[in-house]
A = this chain, B = another copy of it.
Amino acid sequence: MKQTYIREISKYVGQEVVIKGWLYNIRYSGKLMFPQIRDGSGIIQGVVFKKAVSETVWKGFESLTQESSIIVKGKPREDSRAPGGFELDISDLEIVQIAEPYPITPKEHGVEFLMDHRHLWIRSKRQHAILRIRAEVIRAIRDFFDENDFVLCDTPIFTPAACEGTTTLFECNYFDDAKAYLTQSGQLYNEATAMAFGKVYCFGPTFRAEKSKTRRHLTEFWMVEPEIAYATLDDIMELAENFITHIVTRVLERRSEELRVLERDTSKLEKIVPPFPRLQYDDAARMLKEAGLAFEYGSDFGSPDETFLSSQYDKPVMIHRYPAQVKAFYMEVDPERPDLALCVDVLAPEGYGEIIGGGQRMASLEMLRKRIAEHNLPESAFDWYLDLRKYGSVPHAGFGMGVERCVAWLCGIEHVRETIPFPRMLYRLRP
Contacts and interface: CB of A to CB of B under 8 A. Distances in A.
Given A149-B7, A156-B220, A174-B170, A194 B40 contact: yes
Contacts of A205: 154, 157, 204-205
A289 interface: no
Interface size bracket, A side: 35 or more
Q: Which of A99, A128, A193 has most B Cβ within 10 Å?
A: A193
Nearest to A431: B384
Contacts of A135: 151-153
B40 A422 contact: no
A3 interface: yes
A189 interface: yes
A134 B128 CA distance: 31
B196 A153 contact: no
A421 interface: yes
Contacts of A128: 196-197
A326 interface: no
Interface stretch (A76-84, A307-315, A385-393): A385-393
Given A155-B422, A429-B178, A392 B67 contact: yes
Nearest to A146: B139
A426 interface: yes
Interface in A119-171: 119-120, 122-123, 127-128, 131-132, 134-135, 138-139, 142, 146, 149, 151-160, 170-171
A198 B5 contact: yes
Contacts of A182: 172
Contacts of A222: 154
Given A174-B429, A204-B204, A205-B204, A153 B421 contact: yes
29 contacts: A7-B149, A20-B229, A20-B230, A41-B199, A67-B392, A68-B392, A96-B393, A96-B395, A99-B390, A99-B391, A102-B391, A119-B192, A119-B387, A120-B387, A122-B193, A128-B196, A128-B197, A131-B153, A135-B151, A139-B152, A156-B421, A158-B219, A158-B220, A158-B424, A159-B429, A174-B219, A178-B429, A192-B431, A193-B421
Nearest to A123: B196
A274 to B, nearest CB: 18
Given A97-B394, A175-B211, 14 more contacts: A5-B198, A20-B394, A40-B195, A67-B391, A96-B392, A100-B390, A127-B196, A135-B153, A138-B152, A155-B421, A157-B424, A160-B431, A170-B180, A384-B430
A198 B222 CA distance: 23
A429 B171 contact: no
A39 interface: yes
Nearest to A42: B198
Contacts of A61: none
A29 interface: no
